[in-house]
Structure 1
């Protein structure tokens, strides 16, 4: 059985994988050929494992396989697949991704952020709004929304809630401890940058804020997940 760990980049997927690893002792793979996050932070911290088989074989296996993806719903995803759909305020996710991409050249931040807001590729991550809508619309019973705010606010409760619903055969380990954000910053304070919500308020330029809300897919996705349009 596959459980997709689906999110737009920089929405907390790595922290979700770390929480799963510490709470349940499970290891997660990725839809991509290389897991660059595990390479950067360490496979044991993430709980990374190589995919044991092709996606179709993992889907029909009786064991639970958690697979990370930042892609929009595409040919790899079967309508019957289960998924944890992790969603962060699109403005925060885009700011964080642009910061990461421009890590070596901070002066590129605004230009990278603008490109990310207007991107419109039908494959891959695509735009933030299109990505979120591809997973949540139309509603599918086996795809559960997990909000970033809930994950970082009470990770044990948030993760146990979705795992219990999608993979009830798994049980959390007694005495399991999830690393704090301060712990993770000791590993890599550039990757684990701020770890909270509403970071766009002091990082998103006004013109790019307007550009974000000019995209109908962003408006629809933000409303869907509970972030009504604001000035």
Structure 2
């Protein structure tokens, strides 16, 4: 069986993989040929493992395989595949991704961010809104939504609730230790940047905020997830 660990980039997927590894001893492979995150941070920290077989064979296996993807739900994902769908306010995810790619240069950051907002790819990652909607629409009981806010606030119950529904035979280790955000920043403070919600409030320029909301897919996904347009 395959369980997809699915999210748009910079939505907390790496931290979720770390929690799965530390709490449940679950190691995750990736849909891609190379796991750049594991190469950057270390396979043991992330909980990376090589794919043992092609996706189709993993799906047919009696074992449970957790596979990370940032892609939109496409024809590689069967309708019946279980998934953990990790979601974050699109503005925060895009700001974080642009910061990671654009570095400290404000001009490069804004150019990266604009390009990301305007993406229209129908395959691969796609735009934030189309990516989220592809996993959440139509709704399915075996695709479980996990909010970034819940994951970072209290990962044990947030992940435990979903694991109990997906793989009830998996039990968390009672003495497991989950690294703090301070610990992770010591490992790589550019990758683990701020670790909280609403980062768009002081990083997303107003013209790009309007551009984000001009996209119908973004508006639909934000409404679905209950994120308000106002920057409180």
In the aligned structure 1, how far is the partner of 2:63 from the partner of 2:106?
A: 44
Q: Kindly tell me: are residues 28 and 170 of structure 1, through their superposed partners in 2, closer, same or farther at Cα, counting changes over 3 Å?
A: same
- 1:85-108 Cα distance to aligned partner (Å, 9 max, x none): 000000000000000111275540
Q: CA deviation at 1:45?
A: 0.2
Q: Unmatched 5+ residue regions in structure 2?
A: none
- SS in structure 1 opposite 2:157? helix
Provide runs of 4+ in structure 1 moved above 3 Å: 104-107
In the comparison of the two structures, how many residue pairs are matched?
A: 231
Equivalent residue for 1:212? 212
SS of alignment partner, residue 5 of structure 2: strand
Between the aligned partners of 1:95 and 1:74, the Cα distance in structure 2 is 25
Q: Secondary structure at the match of 1:134?
A: helix
Q: What is the RMSD of the two structures over their aligned residues, measured on CA atoms?
A: 1.0
- Tell me by how many angstroms 1:115 deviates: 0.4
Q: TM-score, normalised by structure 1?
A: 0.98
**Pairing 1:1-231 to 2, within 5 Å after superposition:** 1-103=1-103, 105=105, 107-230=107-230
CA distance in 2, matches of 1:182, 1:150: 18
Unpaired runs of at least 5, structure 1: none
Q: CA deviation at 1:76?
A: 1.3
SS in 2 for 1:182: helix
* TM-score normalised by the chain length of structure 2: 0.97
Q: 1:168-192 CA deviation, whole Å, 9 max, x = no partner?
A: 1211112101100000001000000
